[in-house]
Amino acid sequence: MERKFGPVSRSLAKTQTIPNDQTVMTDLPQSIPARICALALSAIGSILLLLAMPAQAGDVIPIWPKLAPGETDQKTGAALPSREQDKPTITRIKDITSPTMEVFAPEGGANGAAVLILPGGGFGYVVPDLEGSEAGAVFNQLGITAFVLHYRTSSNGPDGAWRKPLQDSQRAIRYIRANADRWNLDPAKIGLLAFSAGGQVGAIHIGDFGDAYEPADETDKLSARPDFALLVYPWRVSDNAGNLMPEIKISANSPPTFLVHTHDDASSSVGSALIYADLKKSKVEAELHVYHNGGHGYGVRPRAGSNIGTWTDRAIDWLREGGLGSRQK
């Protein structure tokens, strides 16, 4: 039976931990190295095919009616110089005071679901391709419309820097929901995909933090709660003592959530495990994948010597089980 995300399914609290990531170690009749190589080549080929055919951007939409809360100007940001070691190129945009969303609609029509993507960048910049449009291409394959958020950045370091991006994330979910008819969306199928520093924001957003800003217009009367969430290597969400940030308040109201991390990530997979544990305790649908290696900042790209590039396959399985579409033919 296909399970559906939403208030009814949350009581089921179905959980899985890396069910498919280790299948190559259990099928022994043939050569294990040969199987590993074949699976790795298949996964890398799938990802490279998606990267070679990036999602096509549509509208670029300001999310606030005037100035964003606390801002005195409207800057959409400036791109930092590219880094020679980035192959393919990675875009980094700083000095954003006027947040916008890029819309990536699936070819062949939308299935009614949407995902708001929060890129990483340590709050000093956002990475709209590696952790934005490239991820959007994966979701577009399911018929899911993607919105890449260029949230506001900070030059004051990471402490407390989540607040303005959280305001932008809450506002963006409400904006998508208010304009669902424009993109043929179901306002009850609006999710969140968040990477790294964006994952820290996403972890706060899915909890009971409450509204991060005063209402600006009628749009802000709508719910900012995502209907599902995917947190990919959320950054600095726990301290050295193994405690989650106090702003992360997971509860029974949190949406079904999929988490990905690697064991060797310096930002520590402990934070993801703690979020998962709180979701489990709250009887919220959840799935956690901790891969052996792969580091941090891979987006949807493969990493040599790691199978972290297969996390998108696990995410697609999870989304399809939740009734959020199937691959387009």
- Number of Cα atoms under 13 Å in the Cβ half of residue 190: 27
Q: Superfamily assignment of 7-321 in CATH?
A: Alpha/Beta hydrolase fold, catalytic domain (3.40.50.1820)
Q: Alpha-carbon distance 324 to 329, whole Å?
A: 16
- What local confidence, expressed as pLDDT, does residue 156 receive? 79
Q: Which of 62, 58, 275, 297 is nearest to 168 (CA)?
A: 62
- What local confidence, expressed as pLDDT, does residue 55 receive? 52
Mean pLDDT by 10 residues, the chain (329 residues): 50 34 33 45 44 61 97 97 91 97 93 97 96 96 96 84 97 98 97 98 98 97 98 96 96 98 94 98 98 94 93 96 71
Rg of the chain over Cα atoms, rounded to whole angstroms, equals 19
- What local confidence, expressed as pLDDT, does residue 42 receive? 46
- What local confidence, expressed as pLDDT, does residue 237 receive? 97
Q: What is the pTM of this model?
A: 0.84
Class of residue 311 by CB neighbours under 10 A (exposed 0-12, middle 13-18, buried 19+): buried
Q: Alpha-carbon distance 18 to 95, whole Å?
A: 38
